[in-house]
Structure 1
């Protein structure tokens, strides 16, 4: 385990938890246990990971609570997953979603 620490807001230093990798398109992204896919992508500098069907406009996390559906990604072959709600897991394969994804695979 890493010995790096982060100081909380006036509290004691908190030991960093070990990170794990997952794949985002062709990239390897590091995440902390308990971190959402959206949080890990934002921490890695990615602000947009979906394109709208009509205009092709970039979308990423907007509301952060699963209401707006702007952060949709395909996770391990399942489209229409809200990245702000799905916890990242070691070895996940996350893909940029184009438009509405494939309805036949939606949960």
Structure 2
């Protein structure tokens, strides 16, 4: 999931729910967080169970997160320096 290339870009900061993580340009949010040990990106509002990365190609939408007030798929969104990613607020139903 992580880009293994000795010539890859330098590490940059990514913030998830206020906590800083290291990432590399070219990685998706999902890949960077998974490599950092994050397995849950949100909880199911109905069942209150953790949701994280599943298909990693944008079909399942389990990796839904908020970036700049917009809902995005973590597996399809590349990281940028200083990006602030937040958990999707509960809506009362599974998304």
Task: Identify the TM-score tier after normalising by the shorter chain.
Answer: 0.7 to 0.9
Determine if contact 2:18/2:84 at 8 Å carries over to the other structure. Answer: no
Deviating beyond 4 angstroms after TM superposition, the runs of 4 or more aligned structure 1 residues are none
Q: TM-score, normalised by structure 1?
A: 0.75
When the two chains are superposed, the root-mean-square deviation of aligned CA atoms in Å is: 1.8
> Could you say which structure has the larger radius of gyration?
1
| More contact order relative to length (CA 8 Å, sep ≥ 6) | 2
Determine if contact 1:22/1:30 at 8 Å carries over to the other structure. Answer: yes
Determine if contact 1:51/1:98 at 8 Å carries over to the other structure. Answer: no
Aligned residues: 89
Number of the residue aligned with 1:78 = 70
Number of the residue aligned with 1:62 = 54
Unaligned runs of 5+ in 1: 1-5, 9-13, 101-107
